[in-house]
Amino acid sequence: MDNVVKISIINFFIIYLLLIVVGVIMKISKINQSKLLIIASIRMTLQLVIAGYILIYLLDNPSPILIIAYVLLMSIFAIHRILSVNKGLNKKFKLIIAISIIASSISIITFFICVIINQSIFNPQYTIPISGMILGNAMTGISLGVRSFMAKIKDSQLQIEVLLNQGALPKNILLPMVNTSIETALLPTINSMLGMGIVSLPGMMTGQILAGGSPSTAIFYQITITICISTVVCLSVFLSLYLGYKTLYNKENQFII
């Protein structure tokens, strides 16, 4: 039985009025991103509506080929988003990022679905939404980690030159930056975990409770998926940066940034 209170079309459109509040605050704060807010809102709406219809079709027609294609499409979009906000990376670094997010995400998705909940990887009811959560958080983590890493290099160019002139190896210069950038990428996930259950009820748990599911089942799902998310963020950022930073210098220990 579906116990979820349905939102009418009229009430659905009323929620967009709240964006006026955001726009006014941005105007007062002299944040010139009103156009971006409108574009983001429109894109979010269109993308989610399209995704909803695709999910309806996949649930009615659970084809392994279509499920693989959809997860692959999500992966490609995630990679595109990471690279679009981290311009200037060399080709090897970009390839490492792509491989890192796909390898780490697919392994964690497969582990969660096949081992933790004991379902087929081709079950769209679980594979599609879980893949979305895993890939989305990996995308955010890598974007944050890589951007932090490259910003540190840019801000430390003079210091890097001095250290190189003194005979320091690029590896020894870059590794501390890699480590602090991984920490930067992990902090939002860790802070979110610290507040769960006290400050907030996470989305997956809230959704299951709103759908009439047992709170105990919702708790188990939320804890397991949160651990999976923290793992995929850590793993994907670690692989991206620990393998990627080596593409910034050659065998003669010369920077090729």
Share of the chain above pLDDT 90, in %: 51
- Note the pLDDT of residue 3: 62
Backbone angles phi, psi at 62, to 5 degrees: -70, 80
Give tens-digit pLDDT for 71-117. Answer: 999 999 999 999 998 888 999 999 999 999 999 999 999 999 999 99
**Is the Cα dihedral 72, 126, 239, 176 positive or negative?**
positive
H helix intervals, 156-214: 157-165, 170-195, 203-210
Prediction pTM value: 0.84
C-alpha–C-alpha distance, residues 184 and 177, integer Å: 10
Listed residue (7, 135, 117) closest to 70, CA to CA: 135
Give tens-digit pLDDT for 184-233. Answer: 999 998 988 888 877 766 777 777 777 777 888 888 888 898 899 999 99
Spans of all domains in the chain: 16-24+33-61, 66-248
Q: Which two tokens stand for residue 1?
A: 């039985």
